[in-house]
Structure 1
Amino acid sequence: MQEKEPYGEVFLINKPLEWTSFDVVKKVRNALRIKKVGHAGTLDPLATGLLIVCAGKQTKSIEQYMGQEKEYTGTFVLGKTTESFDREKEVIEVADPSDLSLEDVKDAAAKLTGEIMQIPPMHSAIKVDGKRVYESARKGIEVKIDARPVQVSVFEITRFELPEIDFKIVCSKGTYIRSIARDLGEDLGVGAYMSALCRTRIGDFLLDNAMELPELITKIKDRLDEDI
C-alpha cells in the first residue's frame, strides 16, 4: 500500500485590518484542524495586505518566503507624529508642513533609498536581550536598539496632498515602514507618522492573487467536509 504524501499547502491571504498575523494563523489552523501552521512575515494589526500562511510540510519554507523582497503602499501624515509612528498611539503635533514642496519630500525620500542604517521602532516585536521591545515600551522602559542595515530599492511619492503623502516602497526583509515615516519626518523637520499600510507583494507573490480570509475559511471547511 502506497503511503499518503504528507500534507502541505501555501495560502495567500489579504490580512484584515486590526487582525494580528497570529489571529489569521489561528483561524486557518482551526479550520484545517492541524497544529503545523505559520506565517511568513508579520504584518502589524493596523496594516492590511498580503500574508503568506504555510501549513503542514510547507512550514519548512517559511524562512525562504520571509527573506524575499517586499512591496508596500500606504500613507504618511506630515507635521505630526506618535510614540509608535503609526495610529496605535496618540497623535502629537510637531510642526506645520505647509511650506514643504513635493521636491522637498522627494529629496528626503532619496536619502532613505538604497542601503541605509535603520533603527527599528520601540513598539516592535524584535528582541533585545531576549525580550520583545514592545513589552518594555508598554512599561515605559527605554531600550537601546542598534541600527541595522536594510535595503530600500524604491521609495516613490505617489500622492502629495499635505499633510498627507502616499508612497510605494520596495524593501528587504527586516525593514520597518514606520521607521521610514519617523526618519522622513525628522529629515523634513516636521515629524511624520504612518496612517495606512498595505503589503502588495512578497517576492513573486501578489496581493492581487490573495483570498479574503472569510472566503478562504469557507473553502477549507467545504473541502474538509467533502473528504469526510
Structure 2
Amino acid sequence: MLPASTTPPFSFRDGALVLIDKPQGWTSFDVVNKLRWRIRKHLGVKKFKVGHAGTLDPMATGLLNLCVGPWTKKLQQLEGLGKSYTGTIKLGATTPSYDAETEEDQQYPTDHLSLDLLREHAVAFTGAIEQIPPMYSAIKVDGQPLYKRARRGETIEVKPRSVEVNAFALSNFTGDAVDFEISCSKGTYIRSLANDLARAAGSGGYLTALRRTAVGPYRIEDAWVLEDLLEAIPLEI
C-alpha cells in the first residue's frame, strides 16, 4: 500500500512523505538539501535521511515526492509509479540538451507544420516505444554521467530504452510552438519525445517549459510551495 502524504504537525523521526512543487532553476538535490537542513535544525540532529523519488531537471517545475527518515526505504516503491506532465515545445530549432538549458544549434522549417500534422505523428510515440535518452542526462556510462561527457564535447552511443507513453495530447499550436500533456511510465525522457516528435514532422524542436503534475496517485494540487513548507517546520521542537 502506498504511503499517504504527510501534513502538519510533522513527526519526521517516524518517517514522512512530503509533496513539493519544485521551483524552476532548482535541482532535485537542491530541494532535498534545503529540506534536510531544516529538519536537522528542527530536530537538533547532525544527520537525517531525506531522498526524492524521481529527478526533475532544473528547468522543470512541479511535483517532487520526498521521503524522510525511515520512509526513505519506500523510495523505490514510489519511483516506479507513472507520471504526468504538461509543457511547451518550441518548433523550428534544436538544442544539444533538447531543452532551453543550452543554446540553439540548428534551425529547421516550420511553414509546413500544423496541429493536425503534429497530432498524426504523436500517435507513433504512444504505447510501448523505444526511446534514446538525451546526451545531457544523468545516465551513467562507465561510471560517469552522460551530461559531463556532453559538456566536454564527447559523443557516446546511448542505447535505447523501452518506455510506455499512455497519452500524448497536443494543443495551442502557434506555428512555432505547441503545448502538450503526457502520461507515461518511469524513465521516460520528455525532452527526447519533444525532439523526436519535431523531427518526425520534418522540423526541429526542444522543450521551453515542463511541469510534472502527477506521480501515481499524488497530485501537484496537494504539493507544498517549498518556502511555505520550510516556514511550517519550526527551527526547534
TM class by shorter-chain length? over 0.9
Match of 1:178 in 2: 191
The one-letter code sitting in structure 2 at the alignment partner of 1:13 is I
Q: How far 1:98 moved relative to its partner? A: 2.3
- Structure 1 range deviating more: 98-107 or 194-203: 98-107
Match of 2:91 in 1: 78
- Structure 1 range deviating more: 96-105 or 112-121: 96-105
Q: Is residue 46 of structure 1 aligned with residue 53 of structure 2?
A: no
Q: Is residue 10 of structure 1 aligned with residue 41 of structure 2?
A: no
Does the C-alpha gap of structure 1 residues 214 and 5 become closer, same or farther in structure 2, counting only changes over 3 Å? closer
Q: Give the Cα–Cα distance (whole angstroms) in 2 for the partners of residues 6 and 73 of structure 1.
A: 35
5 Å-filtered alignment, 1:152-191, equals 152-191=165-204
Given that 2:12 and 2:69 are in contact with CA atoms closer than 8 Å, whether structure 1 keeps it comes out as no
Match of 2:144 in 1: 131
The one-letter code sitting in structure 2 at the alignment partner of 1:164 is A
Structure 1 residue matching 2:96: 3-state secondary structure: coil
Structure 2 residue matching 1:214: 3-state secondary structure: helix
Q: 1:112-153 deviations in whole A, cap 9, x for unaligned? A: 111000000000001112211111111111111100100000
Match of 1:27 in 2: 34
Given that 2:49 and 2:72 are in contact with CA atoms closer than 8 Å, whether structure 1 keeps it comes out as yes
Given that 2:84 and 2:182 are in contact with CA atoms closer than 8 Å, whether structure 1 keeps it comes out as yes
The one-letter code sitting in structure 1 at the alignment partner of 2:35 is V
Q: How far 1:5 moved relative to its partner? A: 10
Given that 2:115 and 2:171 are in contact with CA atoms closer than 8 Å, whether structure 1 keeps it comes out as no
The one-letter code sitting in structure 2 at the alignment partner of 1:83 is P
- RMSD of aligned C-alpha atoms? 1.4
Q: Runs of 5+ in structure 1 lacking a partner?
A: none
Q: Give the Cα–Cα distance (whole angstroms) in 2 for the partners of residues 205 and 219 of structure 1.
A: 21
Structure 1 residue matching 2:171: 3-state secondary structure: strand
Q: So what's the TM-score if we normalise by structure 2?
A: 0.90
Structure 2 residue matching 1:174: 3-state secondary structure: coil
The equivalent position to 1:214 in structure 2, one of 207, 212, 227, is 227
Match of 2:79 in 1: 66
Match of 1:102 in 2: 115
Q: Is residue 88 of structure 1 aligned with residue 110 of structure 2?
A: no
Q: How far 1:198 moved relative to its partner? A: 0.1
Name segments (4+ residues, structure 1) moved above 3 Å.
Answer: none
Q: Give the Cα–Cα distance (whole angstroms) in 1 for the partners of residues 29 and 39 of structure 2.
A: 15
Q: How far 1:92 moved relative to its partner? A: 3.2
Q: Give the Cα–Cα distance (whole angstroms) in 1 for the partners of residues 156 and 222 of structure 2.
A: 39
Q: Give the Cα–Cα distance (whole angstroms) in 1 for the partners of residues 14 and 128 of structure 2.
A: 39
- Structure 1 range deviating more: 29-38 or 165-174: 29-38
Structure 2 residue matching 1:17: 3-state secondary structure: coil
Match of 2:6 in 1: none
Q: How far 1:6 moved relative to its partner? A: 4.8
Q: How far 1:158 moved relative to its partner? A: 2.5
Number of matched residues? 221
- Structure 1 range deviating more: 125-134 or 210-219: 125-134
The one-letter code sitting in structure 1 at the alignment partner of 2:23 is P
Q: Runs of 5+ in structure 2 lacking a partner?
A: 1-10, 41-46
